[in-house]
Amino acid sequence: MPSRGSRSVTTRIARRTRRPLQVAAGGAVALLALSACGSGSDSSAQQGSSGPGGLSGEVTVFAAASLKESFTTLGERFEKEHPGTKVTFSFGGSDALAASITGGAPADVFASASPKTMKIVTDAGDASGTPATFVRNELEIATLPGDPGKISSLADLTRAGRKVVLCDQEVPCGAAAQKALAASGLKLTPVSYEQDVKAALTKVELKEADAAVVYRTDVRAAGDKVRGVEFPESADAVNDYPIALLKDAPNAEAGQAFIALVRSAEGQKVLSGAGFLKP
């Protein structure tokens, strides 16, 4: 059995031994704390270089041709708000865009000019979540400035000798035109069916047609190149525009952020200014 004196010596040695260990442990904690602070600063710096929310990289948006002007504006704003991002658009007929998506074309967002063409994508399981309607659009007649053809109504387009172009019936603007014609009881044989609304409008701008049935947003975007003619039957053919994040989006986070911008008050102001109707 150890003597009382030996126990006292052992205790003093143990205390002296523990003290350096405690100092070392405290130093380790301090180093960890400094490391954590440094890591947080580096992380913040990296996020700052990628813009708010840490978004970066390319965002690919497939959008109906009628959205070209307003979405281009919103794309520029998105890039400004999120440094390090780049928005790339593919504009065209909604049916063709939907076919590209279901065929495997890589994209983050799809904005269609009708629920019918969006359904092609959702039925194929290529949309992430439920599409949301973000605007609506109404038809107008686009004719030449100065009204040389004396066109003031939908019925005027059916007169003999009129050269009228329509969008293809599979494209939302073409389907809407057919609906308006059916509502009015009129029959119209166009000189051509165009692949999207911009192509139809171009025929009038180049004076290759007397008139085209297009969206009022496209008439507004054309400025003084054409004259717009409203007609009451357009109320029977208003198109809803849905937007959706795509299932296999290469940059889903940035794609969702672009959709949020489109649906925000700021985005709606741009779209309303282009002539779109509120959803």
| Cβ-Cβ contacts under 8 Å for 87 (sequence gap 6 or more) | 58, 59, 61, 75, 76, 78, 79, 258
List pLDDT tens digits, range 201-232: 999 999 999 999 999 999 999 999 999 999 99
List pLDDT tens digits, range 150-207: 999 999 999 999 999 999 999 999 999 999 999 999 999 999 999 999 999 999 999 9
**Which pLDDT score, from 0 to 100, does residue 233 have?**
94
Domain spans of the chain, in order of start: 54-136+241-273, 139-236
> Which of 180, 182, 208 minimizes the C-alpha distance to 194?
208
Helix axes 94-102, 115-123, angle to 10 degrees: 10
CATH pick for 139-236 out of 3.40.190.120, 2.40.30.40, 3.40.50.300, 3.30.413.10: 3.40.190.120
CATH pick for 54-136+241-273 out of 3.40.50.2300, 3.90.79.10, 3.40.190.10, 3.40.30.10: 3.40.190.10
| Cβ-Cβ contacts under 8 Å for 131 (sequence gap 6 or more) | 112, 115, 118, 122, 242, 243, 244
pLDDT > 70: percent of the chain: 81
- Give the pLDDT mean for 15-30: 38
Phi, psi of 78 (to 5 degrees): -60, -45
Mean pLDDT of the chain: 85
Asked if the domains 54-136+241-273 and 139-236 are classified in one and the same CATH topology, the answer is yes
**Which pLDDT score, from 0 to 100, does residue 53 have?**
55
Tokens representing residue 102 in the block: 């279901």
> pTM of the prediction?
0.80
List pLDDT tens digits, range 245-273: 999 999 999 999 999 999 999 999 999 99
Q: Check pLDDT > 50 for residue 244.
A: yes
- Give the pLDDT mean for 87-112: 98
Q: Check pLDDT > 80 for residue 40.
A: no
Q: Check pLDDT > 60 for residue 59.
A: yes
Q: How far is 69 from 32, CA to CA, in rounded Å?
A: 53
